[in-house]
Amino acid sequence: MKYDNYIKVEFPSKSCNEALARSVVGVFASQMDPTLGELGDVKTAVSEAVTNCVIHAYPDSVGVIRLRCRVLEGDLLEILVRDWGCGIPDVEKARTPLFTTGGEERSGMGFTIMESFMDTLKVRSRPGRGTSVVMTRRLSGKTAEG
């Protein structure tokens, strides 16, 4: 799909970088003139995706997280969150509400939250090779020219 603008950022899988990812996506998406509600939804979905990388992809080490955002035709925001961590053995099971491998302090609602706040959610994973989460959201604002 053709895109008008994009960013790509990589950062260590440290929990402090979840706020960085939220901020980067919020600033990038602002060119599309989203409502505050849309912006909050997108930032929450990104938080969940990045937190999954920190907690699940690299449970015993610090790895790399890639964040890519693109403005696609038709006021569509596409967000990719990618890691090269341990991967997910059963993606469908992982997408089940309340399922978690992160211990009893984790809610198991990450994918459910992403799915409810975004228009589409695609998850691809290979054990030992990492996971890619691609989310899209149509924003009601107008895409900036330039």
The predicted-structure confidence for 26-76, as pLDDT tens digits, reads as follows: 999 999 999 999 999 999 999 999 999 998 899 899 999 999 999 999 899
Is the residue at 144 inside a domain?
no
| List of residues 6+ apart from 142 with CB closer than 8 A | 32, 33, 75
The CATH number assigned to the domain holding 54 equals 3.30.565.10
Select which of 17, 18, 22, 48 is catalytic: 48
Per the model's pLDDT, the better-predicted residue between 94 and 16 turns out to be 16
Give the other-Cβ count within 10 Å of 119's Cβ: 12
In a domain, 96, yes or no: yes
Could you read off the pLDDT of 95-137 as tens digits, one per residue?
676 556 555 665 556 788 899 999 999 999 999 999 999 999 9
Q: How far is CA 130 from the centre of its chain?
A: 14
Q: Is residue 143 part of a domain?
A: no
Is 52 one of the catalytic residues?
A: yes
Indicate which residue of 66, 68, 95, 106 is catalytic: 106
Active-site choice (17, 18, 52, 78): 52
Our answer to whether residue 38 is catalytic in this structure is no
State yes or no: is 106 an active-site residue. Answer: yes
Q: For the chain, first and last CA: distance in Å?
A: 19
Give the range of the structural domain holding residue 19, as residue numbers without chain letter.
3-138
User: What's the total number of domains in the chain?
Assistant: 1
